Amino acid sequence: MAASKLRVVDIHTHMYPPSYIKILEARTTIPLVRTFPQTPEPRLILLEAEGKALEEATNDPTAKPPGRPLTSHFASLAQKIHFMDTHGIDISVISLANPWLDFLSASESGEIGESVNQEFSRMCGEHPGRLFFFAALPLTAPLDTLLAAISHVQSLQYCRGIILGTSGLGKGLDDPALLPIFEALAAANLTIFLHPHYGLPNEVWGPRASAEYGHVLPLALGFPMETTIAVTRMYLSGVFDQVRDLRMILAHSGGTLPFLAGRIESCIMHDGQLVREGKAGKGRRTIWQVLKEQIYLDAVIYSEVGLKAAIDASGADRLMFGTDHPFFPPLESDEQGEWESVSLNADAVTIAVGEGSEQAKAIMGGNAISILRLDQK
Ligand code: 5CU
């Protein structure tokens, strides 16, 4: 068999288009963009965990600035292409970063969503074949607006799926009211890219976190647990059986799902209520099966240990490389150069499956090209 060519595809790479940044600049509650006297660059404040730091910096001009600097990496298309070129990335599937359209009112989200998706479509059109995108859905809008949005994004040439947070319509992803949305997405052949934003309640991090531990706890632990909980709730609700054509890519290699799937299974088998209600018996598709049939995982886990667990759980043919650009820039080297956060993920693939192996080529790009139809412009 002829060896396949390496093409690198980044399926986890975000942007906030300029129009979206304007919305954030006009806001007074998180998410928002604001300038502080202690630093020249505007700050992007996204997470509820950043609330205390925001309050302190607002009241005290000497307090440390909250959030992260809003650099050109967040909103500039030229910068995205430069980042791709610097890291040898052939194709990127770009998506709006969190918290997407989740905070918009019901009356405005449909229209803003349409224009944001149109903007992503236009950006992809400027680099045909190099850029595709996951669209954002106006989840706070009425159902007919939401369904119309799915039809709209399906018609956009470079759209390959949608990016979704874990709140769904406000009650999580096991909400029966989401079924028509999942059905419409599956029928439209639009893959869901599931991404965390809400983390865990602030109290979990304890009183020292905001002042002493930076963003480590919400990002390293809150994000992956959020994803794990959301997908486990979906699994327990039966939605994967109800919508068999539903396809989801889970961010950050599925949170902790590959590691915890065995424990989830054991808890189901040993749960008196589920056994009595016939929900744990023979014929049930296990979470292992769902992981191999309806779920894909990105390879944004920064270590071969987690990556091997992801491969064992879903299969090397279901893993897809990502960078999480523009998050996690280098702090002590030039942002225009190579990013260590990227090489950590690329190295994890090499160590896990062998440099230049067919599995490495698949994870680095081949899988994304076939799963997301990136050969069709
Ligand atoms: O650094 C962060 O807060 C984030 C974020 O908000 N979203 C993301 O995708 N990665 C990192």
Say what percent of the chain tops pLDDT 90.
97
What's the pLDDT tens digit per position in 358-368?
Answer: 999 999 999 99
Q: Tokens standing for 117?
A: 């998706």
Decide: 47 in ligand 1 pocket, CB within 6 A.
yes
Q: Residue 4: which pLDDT band, with cuts at 50, 70 and 90?
A: confident
- Please give the Cα distance from 30 to 115 (Å, whole number): 22
ipTM, two decimals, is: 0.94
Mutation test residue for ligand 1: of 45, 95, 324, the one with most atoms within 8 Å of CB: 324
Reported as type and span, the H/E element at residue 10 is strand 9-15
Average pLDDT, the chain: 97
Decide: 323 in ligand 1 pocket, CB within 6 A.
no
Decide: 102 in ligand 1 pocket, CB within 6 A.
no
- Please give the Cα distance from 120 to 273 (Å, whole number): 47
pLDDT at res. 1: 57
Q: What is the mean pLDDT of residues 320-346?
A: 97
| pTM (two decimals) | 0.97
Whose CA is closest to atom 2 on ligand 1? 327
DSSP letters spanning 262-294: HHHHHHHHT-HHHHHTTSSSTTPPPHHHHHHHT
Considering only CA atoms, give the Rg of the chain: 20
What's the pLDDT tens digit per position in 183-240?
Answer: 999 999 999 999 999 999 999 999 999 899 999 999 999 999 999 999 999 999 999 9
Say what percent of the chain tops pLDDT 70.
99
- Please give the Cα distance from 354 to 31 (Å, whole number): 41
What's the pLDDT tens digit per position in 273-289?
Answer: 999 999 998 889 999 99
Mutation test residue for ligand 1: of 13, 32, 166, 219, the one with most atoms within 8 Å of CB: 219
What's the pLDDT tens digit per position in 124-139?
Answer: 999 999 999 999 999 9
Q: Residue 2: which pLDDT band, with cuts at 50, 70 and 90?
A: low
